[in-house]
């Protein structure tokens, strides 16, 4: 069995014919931009400013270093870095070495990282020494991967800066049909799913996104979210920015006190945030002194942005709002700059490609009446055909090549989508996705827990928070269970915001735990 599901040959041929898949690779396009925009600034962080030439040289050096350390074409390497310039030299270095980065996020801990390493049989793990008060070197020791590269003080490992380089060594030839990297799925199952993206498909979405979002050499893109997340990476994100010859500015946090200063200093023109961050910015803009006049576009996505808040963006931040409804599996929708204001306020946009196929269906996979709410299924030139090494799950997550998004949507006559809800067992905590089953499995591992169910609780700021309902067989408290999950190395955003105890779970007609009844129970307890 192959590790990932390729596109059917006839469709791949069509995507090439139509000029979507161009044969470009990540490693090569950066070299082209470096030739064109050599002395322009490519990347700015708290400590550094790199021109395109410098970034290109650093990436090549890293590639030679990785190759000299035995990393070969196709090898997986877990990358967990904060928003720093070295993210780019590492990731483009890996691309040029033909290796496959696995994009972890800074909050991930032992539970997630050990799974990524074992499931992908990763040969290396790239970290920063410390970030956000956490020492990643300790985590690296617990995980026990073959090679660890550290940005900063390496401890017992290898410093990124000290990787010996053999510039005479050969870099492998990379094909645009190769696996480029593994992105993370928000997930709805017991273990996180990994998303295989190839150069051809991802670069198509990146190029088109840059075009739709109007990026060019004079654009300045602020990375307010964690850089490895699919939204700031590709919609149009940092890759779109580099492809267009724009400048990237990395923020260490999305809070107004960090981001507003950077917008003013670097004359940022576009950025992408999740709804809670947009709400914070709207509140802060009224009182903060920074000049935000350079900002032309605020993209909001990752979770549903309330219409009232959407209508405030133009008047209060003085820029255009662009709604983005995307997923790391593929399909990305944008509102366009020439869409009427009312449409931008209520819809989550329309797809990138004329060849994005969308189905809106009922419980039996029959198309709903036009304009009715249904399950969104999609396939197209940049939507995966299956998760990485997940043959069994792929049978339920894909049908006839269509990815079952788990989102409930309504299609407007203009082709725009309105996200109306969700059918998957996932909680969207302000853009951070929590798979109910994953957290439940950890809770059930506690000796005092007989059964557990994680449900979403409405929240005016995050949209949703998590509440774990627990049937206990012995004395145990909510704080003890939360501490237990932290000890098991679960990322902080997955730790339940609330824990409620019940004697038994309500069941649906077919004997499944009724999450709807649990949510009603919580509302009754609060009343
Ligand atoms: C409602 N729900 C949304 C929106 C995503 C661009 C933007 C976002 C992501 C992302 C991304 C939503 N309104 N505007 O990868 O390239 C929910 C849906 C979707 C899931 C995907 C990108 N935008 N969502 O959020 O892989 O439920 O990607 O299926 O993290 O987020 O999550 P993720």
What is the position in ligand 1's atom list of the atom closest to the CA of 349?
14
Give every CB contact of residue 433 below 8 A, 6+ residues apart in sequence.
186, 187, 426, 427
Out of 206, 302, 433, give the residue to mutate to test ligand 1, the one with the largest number of ligand atoms within 8 Å of its CB: 302
Task: List ligand 1's pocket residues with C-beta within 6 A.
Answer: 186, 230-231, 234-235, 301-304, 323-328, 332, 348, 405, 407, 419, 422, 428, 433
Chain mean pLDDT for the chain: 97
Out of 210, 325, 405, 420, give the residue to mutate to test ligand 1, the one with the largest number of ligand atoms within 8 Å of its CB: 325
* Beta strand residue intervals within 362-462, DSSP E: 373-379, 398-399, 402-411, 417-422, 426-429, 432-435, 449-459
Protein residue whose Cα sits closest to atom 3 of ligand 1: 303
469: preceding bond cis by omega (within 30 degrees) = no
The answer to whether 234 and 223 have CB atoms below 8 angstroms apart is no
The answer to whether 380 and 357 have CB atoms below 8 angstroms apart is yes
CA of 326 to the centre of ligand 1 (A): 4
Give every CB contact of residue 38 below 8 A, 6+ residues apart in sequence.
51, 52, 53
Out of 327, 384, 407, 421, give the residue to mutate to test ligand 1, the one with the largest number of ligand atoms within 8 Å of its CB: 327
Is the ipTM reported for this complex over the cut 0.90?
yes
What is the position in ligand 1's atom list of the atom closest to the CA of 424?
27
Protein residue whose Cα sits closest to atom 25 of ligand 1: 302
Cα 195 to chain centroid, rounded: 11
Give every CB contact of residue 471 below 8 A, 6+ residues apart in sequence.
449, 450, 451, 452, 501, 502, 503, 504, 505
The pTM of the full predicted model, rounded to 2 decimals, is 0.98
> According to the model, what pLDDT value does residue 335 have?
98
CA of 306 to the centre of ligand 1 (A): 15
Protein residue whose Cα sits closest to atom 13 of ligand 1: 304
CA of 147 to the centre of ligand 1 (A): 33
CA of 468 to the centre of ligand 1 (A): 23
The answer to whether 140 and 148 have CB atoms below 8 angstroms apart is yes
Q: What separation in angstroms does the CA of 320 have from each of 189, 216, 339?
A: 37, 17, 11
- Cα–Cα dist 70/64, whole Å: 10
What is the position in ligand 1's atom list of the atom closest to the CA of 237?
16
- Locate the domains of the chain by residue range: 426-526
Protein residue whose Cα sits closest to atom 16 of ligand 1: 231
- Cα–Cα dist 94/526, whole Å: 51
Out of 187, 301, 418, 430, give the residue to mutate to test ligand 1, the one with the largest number of ligand atoms within 8 Å of its CB: 301
CA of 450 to the centre of ligand 1 (A): 33
What is the position in ligand 1's atom list of the atom closest to the CA of 324?
14
CA of 274 to the centre of ligand 1 (A): 9
Give every CB contact of residue 7 below 8 A, 6+ residues apart in sequence.
15, 201, 385
CA of 328 to the centre of ligand 1 (A): 8
Protein residue whose Cα sits closest to atom 28 of ligand 1: 327
Low-confidence stretches of the chain (pLDDT beneath 70): 1
> According to the model, what pLDDT value does residue 444 have?
97
Fold of the CATH domain 426-526: GMP Synthetase; Chain A, domain 3 (3.30.300)
What is the position in ligand 1's atom list of the atom closest to the CA of 301?
14
| Closest to 131 (Cα-Cα) out of 203, 234, 228 | 228
Unique residue bearing structure tokens 């590492």: 90
CA of 302 to the centre of ligand 1 (A): 4
What is the position in ligand 1's atom list of the atom closest to the CA of 433?
30
> According to the model, what pLDDT value does residue 196 have?
98
pLDDT digits (tens, 9 = 90+) for 291-327: 999 999 999 999 999 999 999 999 999 999 999 999 9
Give every CB contact of residue 1 below 8 A, 6+ residues apart in sequence.
391
């Amino acid at each position: 069995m192959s590790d990932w599901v390729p596109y059917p040959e006839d469709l791949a041929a069509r995507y090439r014919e139509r000029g979507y898949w161009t044969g470009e690779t990540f490693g090569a396009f950066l070299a082209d931009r470096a030739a064109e925009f050599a002395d322009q600034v490519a990347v700015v962080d708290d400590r550094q400013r790199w021109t395109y030439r410098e970034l290109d040289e650093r990436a090549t050096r890293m590639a030679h270093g990785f190759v000299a350390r035995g990393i070969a074409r196709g090898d997986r390497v877990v990358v967990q870095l904060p928003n720093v310039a070295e993210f780019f030299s590492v990731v483009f270095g890996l691309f040029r070495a033909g290796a496959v980065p696995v994009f972890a996020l800074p909050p991930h801990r032992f539970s997630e990282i050990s799974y990524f390493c074992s499931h992908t049989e990763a040969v290396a793990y790239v970290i920063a020494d410390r970030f956000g008060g956490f020492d990643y070197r300790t985590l690296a020791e617990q995980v026990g991967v073959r090679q660890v590269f550290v940005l900063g003080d390496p401890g017992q490992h290898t410093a990124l800066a000290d990787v010996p380089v053999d510039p005479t060594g050969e870099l492998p030839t990379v094909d645009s049909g190769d696996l480029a990297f593994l992105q993370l799925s928000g997930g709805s199952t017991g273990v996180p799913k990994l998303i295989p993206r190839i150069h051809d498909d991802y670069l198509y979405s990146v190029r088109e996104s840059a075009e739709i979002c109007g990026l060019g050499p004079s654009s300045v893109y602020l990375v307010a979210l964690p850089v490895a997340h699919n939204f700031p990476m590709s919609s149009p994100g940092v890759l779109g920015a580099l492809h267009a010859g724009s400048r990237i500015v990395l923020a260490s946090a999305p809070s107004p006190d960090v981001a507003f200063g950077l917008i003013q200093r670097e004359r940022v023109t576009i950025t992408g945030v999740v709804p809670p961050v947009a709400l914070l910015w709207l509140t802060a803009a009224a009182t903060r002194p920074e000049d935000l006049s350079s900002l032309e576009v605020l993209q909001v996505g990752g979770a549903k942005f309330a219409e009232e808040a959407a209508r405030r963006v133009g008047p209060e931040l003085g820029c255009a709002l662009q709604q983005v409804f995307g997923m790391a599996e593929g399909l990305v929708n944008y509102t366009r700059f020439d869409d009427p204001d009312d449409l931008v306020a209520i819809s989550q946009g329309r797809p990138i490609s004329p060849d994005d196929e969308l189905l809106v269906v009922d419980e039996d996979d029959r198309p709903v009446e036009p304009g009715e709410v249904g399950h969104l299924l999609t396939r197209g030139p940049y939507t995966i055909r299956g998760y990485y090494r997940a043959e069994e799950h792929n049978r339920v997550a894909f049908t006839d090549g269509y990815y079952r998004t788990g989102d409930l949507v309504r299609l407007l006559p203009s082709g725009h989508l309105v996200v109306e809800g969700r059918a998957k067992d996932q909680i969207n905590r302000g853009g951070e996705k929590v798979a109910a089953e994953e957290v439940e499995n950890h809770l059930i591992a506690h000796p005092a827990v007989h059964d557990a169910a994680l449900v979403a609780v409405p929240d005016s700021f995050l949209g949703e928070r998590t509440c774990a309902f627990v049937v206990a067989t012995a004395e145990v408290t909510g704080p003890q269970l939360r501490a237990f999950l932290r000890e098991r190395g679960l990322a902080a955003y997955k730790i339940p915001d609330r824990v409620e105890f019940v004697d038994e779970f309500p069941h649906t007609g077919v004997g499944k735990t009724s999450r709807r009844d649990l949510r009603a129970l919580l509302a009754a307890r609060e009343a």
